[in-house]
Amino acid sequence: MAGKIDAYIDCVSPYSYYATLYLRRNRDALRSHGVEVELHPVFLGGINVGSGNKPPWTLPAKASYSKFDSERACKYFGVPQIKTPDFFPILSIMPQRCMIYIKRHYPQERYETTFLSLWEWMYHKNIDISKPEKLAELLKSHNYSDQEIKDILESAKSPEYKEALTANTQKALDQGAYGAPWFWVRNKEGKEEPFFGSDRFAFMWQYLGIPFQDVTIVEKAKL
């Protein structure tokens, strides 16, 4: 393996959504260069507390700017405009623990498509997926059986998955995380560095030694 991208993400973070979509769209290209991607659920609230950071919506200047940035990001990443629900922000602990359970018990594709639905239901359908009954509906839409749904939801209450989410969050903090998405990247030389956000992929590809086409300005044709 020529490299590894460990992505630490939370369903409460729209920028984790954009990054996940982008990495999945480019997974085959990354694999062609020997680079693997792994998605790790974390609790962003714990990262904020542990790092001393504050969510952007708690700071007036950031909150005001976020409207413009969100609209631009949705357009760039090719997703419908996000509608911030009245219940935002949610406490994401339960769905994040459930994602760890699904990651451990189901194939990668099913895990990741289920994870993506957390953002889709919350930001596009305005459904509070932190509510067990709503999360159960989401899982049902992905053809999990009633027993599987029960097991997944119960996992969020178990010490094993409480500790697993805490461990993932602490690992990100130990790497210097102060928000999400947070990436820990190992290149072909075995060196490792952190990257933050959904707009630093060009830096990441340079670090991994992956050829890419950067953003270029197309000169206007002369008449």
| R_g over Cα of the chain | 18
- The confidence score (pLDDT) of residue 119 equals 97
- Among 13, 16, 130, 155, the active-site one is 13
Instruction: Give kind and range of the element (H or E) at residue 123.
Output: none
Tell me if 82 sits within 8 A of 51, measured CB to CB.
no
Q: Provide the residue type at 141 as one letter.
A: S
The C-alpha angle 4, 11, 102, rounded to 5 degrees, equals: 70
Q: What SS3 class is residue 186?
A: strand
- Residue given tokens 């998605």 in the structure block: 39
Residue 11 CA to residue 132 CA, distance in Å, equals: 15
- The confidence score (pLDDT) of residue 58 equals 84
Domains, the chain, ordered by start: 3-208 (3.40.30.10)
Helices in the chain by DSSP H: which ranges? 14-25, 27-32, 44-51, 60-77, 93-105, 108-119, 132-141, 146-155, 159-174, 201-208
- Partners of 194 in the β-ladder: 184
Q: What SS3 class is residue 56?
A: helix
Closest CA to 40 of 202, 181, 220: 181
Closest CA to 11 of 3, 2, 20: 20
Clarify whether 92 is annotated catalytic: no
Residue 94 CA to residue 195 CA, distance in Å, equals: 26
- The confidence score (pLDDT) of residue 171 equals 98
Tell me if 135 sits within 8 A of 153, measured CB to CB.
yes
- The confidence score (pLDDT) of residue 111 equals 98
**pLDDT (tens digit per residue) in 13-70:** 999 999 999 999 999 999 999 999 999 999 999 999 999 998 887 888 988 898 899 8
Segments in the chain below pLDDT 70: 1
Q: What SS3 class is residue 216?
A: coil
| Chain CA centroid to CA 185, Å | 15
Instruction: Give the single-character DSSP code of 8.
Output: E
- The confidence score (pLDDT) of residue 206 equals 96
Instruction: Give the single-character DSSP code of 156.
Output: T
| Chain CA centroid to CA 59, Å | 22
- Residue given tokens 């451990």 in the structure block: 104
